[in-house]
Amino acid sequence: MNPMDNTNQTSPKNGRGSWAIPVLAGAFALSLGINGYQAVRLQDVNSEVGAVQQQVSELRAGLSAVDKTLNENLGVVRTDLDSARKETQESVNKAAMAAQIAARRHADKIVSNLAKSEEQKAKQMAAELTQVKETTLQANSKIADVSTDVGAVKQDVVKTQSELQATIAELHRATGDMGVMSGLIATNAKELAALRELGDRNYVEFELPRNGKAQRVGDIQLAVKKTDVKRSKFTVDVIADDRKIEKKDKTANEPVQFYVLSKARQPYEMVVNEVSKDKVKGYLAVPKVQIARK
């Protein structure tokens, strides 16, 4: 074997051994560095954890103080609420009591007023009842008086009717100045009243001056032109239907007749009962059946 060949075979081994050691040393150093860094970092983390724990403790202490303060404040608020509730309840009770007292007083006042009103009404009704009784007594007295008066009036009526019948019996008929039989003739106021009671005609009384001037009597006109007291005669103009008729020298209580054709088919009758120097007095008898106007 060639010695050169042995030397060439061991050289490579010696070369690998020369670079492996430094590498291992470097790795070890790196491991130590990493471990040192981790130790330092762990220490920092522990410090930070401690600081955080201290902050947490401080925060807990603060929260505990806040909680204590809140509890104290809540107790004060509850106390205030209880006091306010108590005061409010007392105020409500006082107000309710005052309202009840006021309501009772008002009710008592109303009852008192009603009692007074009822008493006044009772007095008024009693007074009115007394007045009604008095009025009733007066009315009964008046009724009795009226009954007496009615009896007297009945007697007067019977007497008047008797007198009327007697007066009517005394009336007489006469022929008028136109030759027509007249109705019953009245010579005075009493007999004229009897004629009115009979109701055969309508009667209009008149009192006319002797001045020749036309005066309206009923639905005609009369003008007295002349009077003769000694002979109880008179002259009169009758104006009707736009005509003038002279009735000359007529005598008292004589039926003076004339027609008013626009009014009736029966003759009108004028009777003068009194003839004086300046006037005449009498009545006009007008037929009741009138002609209807067209």
Q: How confident is the model at residue 15 (pLDDT cuts 50, 70, 90)?
A: low
The residue ranking higher by pLDDT, 284 or 73, is 284
Q: Which of 20-24, 76-80, 159-163 has the highest mean pLDDT?
A: 76-80
What was the pLDDT predicted at 286? 95
Q: Does this model's pTM top 0.85?
A: no
What was the pLDDT predicted at 10? 47
* Average pLDDT rounded to a whole number, residues 156-170: 58
Arithmetic mean of pLDDT over the chain:
82
Tens-place pLDDT, residues 166-216: 566 556 677 777 777 777 889 999 999 999 998 889 999 999 999 999 999
Q: How confident is the model at residue 290 (pLDDT cuts 50, 70, 90)?
A: confident
The residue ranking higher by pLDDT, 130 or 235, is 235
What was the pLDDT predicted at 62? 83
Write out the DSSP string of the chain: --HHHHHHHHHHHHHHHHHHHHHHHHHHHHHHHHHHHHHHHHHHHHHHHHHHHHHHHHHHHHHHHHHHHHHHHHHHHHHHHHHHHHHHHHHHHHHHHHHHHHHHHHHHHHHHHHHHHHHHHHHHHHHHHHHHHHHHHHHHHHHHHHHHHHHHHHHHHHHHHHHHHHHHHH-EEEE-TTS-EEEEE--SHHHHHHHHHHTSEEEEEEEEESSS--EEETTEEEEEEEEETTTTEEEEEEEETTEEEEEEEEETT--EEE--TTT-SSPEEEEEEEE-SSEEEEEEEEES--PPP-
What was the pLDDT predicted at 226? 97
Tens-place pLDDT, residues 16-31: 556 777 787 788 888 8
